[in-house]
Amino acid sequence: MVSDPWFYIMAIPAVLIYGIGKGGLGGALGIIAVPLMAMVVSPTQAAAILLPILCVMDAFAVKQHYQNAEYSILKQMLPGSLLGVFLAGVFLSVTPEAGLKLLIGGLSLLFCVQYLFQQGDPAPKKPGGISAWWWSGLGGFSSTAIHAGGGPASIYLLPLKLEKVTLIATMAVLFAIINLFKLIPYTLLGEFDRTNLLTALMLMPLAPVGVYMGVWLLHRVSQVWVYRLCYFFLFVSGTKLFIEGVAVHI
């Protein structure tokens, strides 16, 4: 089990925030989790520790929301998502730690930019086959690499103007399926060793706490300010990881 106290200072809020996002404030909220934990341990180890916890969160989130999901949209998004999982598994198997820090830092900063430029209120759009494949594929890839598929998925889903409850439910079911398939590449990469599994087990009781906090907060807090705060910390952690990744190559 990881013994560094700084790891838990980062991991406990990261797990709770991810659970809150799954429970009601949007899947993209969890984007901060791996960058925070990767400030103390390697990016791959952070992602491996989180994955079993996410699967437990998924069970609670799907139980809360499955009846409100839009399954016709899920059918459009799943093929691209699973292709993204496969491609990310190949990428992780050949990329060194410095490259992963660059990836995580770069994606973190990219998602911050996306958040800044997606504050408008675009007109509703209809689901599309090509855009569903592209954004869900990118979502599956970034979800596998850093458990941050909510950003790309949101780019596709938000313009559809789904009801808030339908949006949250659709995201919950989509990423529950994606996370189950992510177990395959992480197992093949040998990341589920004794240390990572015991650490995940230690943090796992936080999973239902975070999800039910999200469900409770869904109609009680300003989602805008929650996101602003999380994206601020995402910017800070992403910048640190990106600089560390660049420094190795200088």
- Give the pLDDT of residue 185: 95
Range of the domain at 80: 5-248
Contact 18, 210 (CB under 8 A): yes
Report d(CA 172, CA 30) in Å as an integer: 12
Task: Dig out the tokens for 158 from the structure.
Answer: 């938000």
Report d(CA 146, CA 32) in Å as an integer: 9
Report d(CA 10, CA 50) in Å as an integer: 12
Report d(CA 154, CA 82) in Å as an integer: 17
Count Cβ atoms within 10 A of the Cβ of residue 119 and give its class: 0-12 exposed, 13-18 middle, 19 or more buried: exposed
- Give the pLDDT of residue 127: 61
Instruction: Please calculate the CA angle 148-154-155 and round it to the nearest 5 degrees.
Output: 110
Q: What is the dihedral of CA 231, 236, 239, 240, to 10 degrees?
A: -140
- Give the pLDDT of residue 118: 67
What does the pLDDT profile of the chain (250 residues) look like in tens digits? 888 899 999 999 999 988 887 776 655 567 778 888 988 998 889 999 999 999 998 888 888 888 999 999 999 999 999 999 999 999 988 888 778 778 777 877 887 887 777 655 555 556 667 888 988 998 899 889 878 787 778 778 877 878 877 887 898 899 999 999 999 999 999 999 999 999 999 999 998 898 888 878 776 777 676 667 667 767 877 787 788 778 866 6
Report d(CA 200, CA 54) in Å as an integer: 10
- Give the pLDDT of residue 148: 77
Count of structural domains, the chain: 1
Please tell me whether the overall predicted TM-score, pTM, comes out greater than 0.75 for this model. Answer: yes
